[in-house]
A and B are shown apart, each in its own frame.
Chain A
Amino acid sequence: MALITTRKVLAVAGVAALSLTTAACGSSSDGGGGSESTGPDTTDYSDWCGMKSELQGKSVSIYTSIVTPEDASHKASYKEFEDCTGVKINYEGDKDFEKNLPQRAQSGNLPDIAFIPQPGLLQTMVDTGLAIPASETVGKEVDEYFGEDWRKYGSVDDELYAAPLGANVKSYVWYSPKMFKDKGYEVPTTWDDLMSLTEKIAADDPGAKPWCAGFGSGTATGWPGTDWLEDVLLRTAGPDVYDQWVDHSIPFNDPKVSEALGKVAAILKDPKYTNGGFGDPSTIATTQFQDGGQPILKNKCYMHRQASFYASNWPEGTKVAEDGDVWAFYLPSVDESSKPVLGGGEFVATFRDAPEVKAFAAFLASPDWANAKAKATKGGGWVSANKGLEVKNLVSPIDQQSAEILQDPKAVFRFDGSDMMPSAVGAGTFWTQMTNWVKGQDDKTTLDNIEQSWPQN
């Protein structure tokens, strides 16, 4: 078995190395109009397991940003499909996926399937004219198991292209249940409670600070700052304004956004409140996001707002549970009447019109895959918005809580806005300006600069 896996890895490596050479001399595609809109493929792919006679011996290549070690559970979760259909899945992970995928499209070297973590990038890939609309089977799965919000994020111009894959919940505040219990603090349920708790901690404990944060993330430095602003805007202005802000039907520097940024500043830029364990607020810019919450374990900091995937950054042996060393509570809304959730996820875009590719896409959109992936992820750290996912199949408590939040009918889910904005903003000025902001630049200049950089065409 081990031998076979090694062979597979070598095979993938060999193919990857070769694809590098072919990328250099790959013929430029004629780039014509691409797919004519003829409506979705109505073939039924839901019974992929019964298509062995048709699919046997075929292969599907997938290209993703998910690299070692997270890729192992992905590969394992395809086993059911591979065994059932005889299709071979060739997996290729690349840390520079976001940059390389559009280049691969332009050099005529696209994979069959790409897991795209940003709706903005999905839009770009649809703009290449080479993405293939989702089959009717995938559409049905999305309607049944994901709901309207997620369908919208996988669509371009109201046409569904990609079904959601994994998901994450960003509206979390990490804390130490033990520290809270020792001091008699309650988990806040409204924004006002959160602020009064912040004030109380700052007054109670001179040796620590209520909040800690880190915006550093290599060339993506600044993204945790964008999440902060989005999360707060979603609460103070509501999901409708949030949508308008993301699609730029209101300007980036709208007064409502200034108000939200002011609320973020009241926490992050107050030297009394941040940056626990690191120094003054300006250290947030250079603190790596992976390190951002660690002072909680050293009693230097009480709260750290970060996504569910932060669970994997705690040192080995840390118990992540409601009664453990660290746990996360839902970032409270203004009051308890609404429950907005900020999150992210990947989408399965297809680029080759073939039954094996469509059958595999249908499999990935089904609860069968979601549950297989949950079981394959032995260490935890993965969740999906698929309503067919059984929460008990998830290993870690935090994943279970995330799945419950994602499946909660009261929760209003919104996708990470910076992932949907044009990349000049979402992967450019929004990151850099939030970094400048936390280093001392004022709110107005920050928002004005981002607004000014919004592409005109």
Chain B
Amino acid sequence: MFVTSAVVTAAGDTVSRIGTMFLGLAVFGAVFIGILLLASLFKGRVGEKVQAAAFVGPTIFFIAIALIYPAILTIRRAFYSGKFFDLNFGTPRTRGKFVGFDNFQALWTTPGLPEVFRNTAFWVVLVPFFATGLGLLYAILIDRARGEAAAKALIFLPMAISMVGATLIWKFVYFYNGSPDATQVGLLNAIITKLGMQPIDFIGNPPGNTFALIAIMVWIQAGFAMTVLSAAIKAIPDEIIEAAKLDGVKGLQMFRYVTLPSIRSSVIVVLTTIAIATLKAFDIVQASSGGKFGDSILANEFYNRSFVTQQPGLGAAIAIVIFLLVSPIIVFNVIQLRKDA
């Protein structure tokens, strides 16, 4: 009660702002219902088309203003200099000028950025491969085993943690104290020193730190791969398995010639989904060190250039590169899905 009274007295105009927001939402809803009602008045062939347009139209409209229009702005922005994203913003002195492909050239000439491409390549190749591989292996191993549900939950749990949370957990695992006589409190280094070896600075030195961070992403994504693939394995009809068994197929052969072809489409979906998630993953690098130790990746660098170093043109160029890298994966995914359909 105290809280509400405090907020109410806090700002009279906030109340009116909330009111405006709800009013806006109400008007929005009313307009939609109105359009759908109007569309339902049409009958027959024409009616169907009008109704389809009434349902699809708003989606297309919002995709256009919220996705396509910003995308066009970003592409345009990549060809301009200047400090601010909005080209018409600011004083004439600092307004962006057309610079052609300079921002794209800067991708290769700016110190530190070539390593970003190298690191991103490691991420995109290793994360989907290991996450899917480990997920698949685990799914097969625990399939129809005792305590399957509990075993699955264990691997799936990391999915429930935010990437930032996962990174913080792993930072403790990787923690390194450089002092020669210090006790290593990081889990891994504690184990290493107990075995009589020198402690390792896991997240401080490139290029090794990139792999340490990739391990975090694999840890998170393996659970997703395992869940989807396990469901796919369970969906394989028993008749096929029995028929294969009658034909004398065993062990690895069963996996190679029966299981894998049956779940092929699921494997591809998992691989591509994780690859796209990896290209967009920014949280892990940002939360570990912000990519300051030669371990930055494209998504992190996009944020860094756009907001920290005030180079929105370069940031836009990086965004376009990410988009270009993601596109073939999506196209491939769509083609595969069509094939299966």
A interface residues (Cβ-Cβ under 8 A, vs B): 6-7, 10-11, 14-15, 18, 21-22, 28-29, 31, 33-34, 98-99, 102-103, 105-106, 124, 126-129, 218-219, 221-222, 275, 277-280, 282-283, 285-287, 300, 422-424, 427-429, 431-433, 435-436, 439, 449-450, 452-453, 455-457
What are 16 A-B interface contacts by the 8 Å CB criterion? A10-B6, A11-B6, A18-B17, A31-B89, A98-B308, A99-B307, A105-B89, A106-B84, A129-B91, A218-B290, A219-B292, A279-B178, A428-B304, A449-B111, A457-B82, A457-B97
A102:B84 contact, CB within 8 angstroms:
yes
B interface residues (Cβ-Cβ under 8 A, vs A): 3, 6-7, 9-11, 14, 17-18, 21, 81-86, 88-94, 97, 99, 102, 109-112, 176-180, 201, 204-205, 286, 289-290, 292-294, 304, 307-311
Main secondary structure on B side of the interface with A: loop
Given A128-B84, A423-B309, are A14 and B10 neighbors across the interface (CB < 8 Å)? yes
Inside 8 A of A11's CB, which chain B residues have their CB?
A: 6-7, 9-11
Inside 8 A of A439's CB, which chain B residues have their CB?
A: 204-205, 293
B91:A127 contact, CB within 8 angstroms:
yes
A278→B76 CA distance, assembly (Å)? 49
Among A126, A279, A449, point to the contact of B180 (Cβ < 8 A): A279
Among B18, B93, B178, point to the contact of A286 (Cβ < 8 A): B178
Inside 8 A of B18's CB, which chain A residues have their CB?
A: 18
B6:A7 contact, CB within 8 angstroms:
yes
Main secondary structure on A side of the interface with B: helix
CB-CB nearest in chain A for B82: A457
A219:B290 contact, CB within 8 angstroms:
yes
A423:B308 contact, CB within 8 angstroms:
yes
A432→B116 CA distance, assembly (Å)? 13
Inside 8 A of B92's CB, which chain A residues have their CB?
A: 33
Given A31-B88, A285-B204, are A14 and B7 neighbors across the interface (CB < 8 Å)? yes
A278:B97 contact, CB within 8 angstroms:
no
A127→B9 CA distance, assembly (Å)? 37
B17:A124 contact, CB within 8 angstroms:
no
| Cβ distance A196 to chain B, nearest Cβ, rounded Å | 27
CB-CB nearest in chain A for B91: A129
A456→B308 CA distance, assembly (Å)? 18
| Cβ distance A243 to chain B, nearest Cβ, rounded Å | 21
| Cβ distance A12 to chain B, nearest Cβ, rounded Å | 8
A10:B10 contact, CB within 8 angstroms:
yes
CB-CB nearest in chain B for A276: B179
| Cβ distance B106 to chain A, nearest Cβ, rounded Å | 9
A432→B290 CA distance, assembly (Å)? 11
A28→B89 CA distance, assembly (Å)? 9
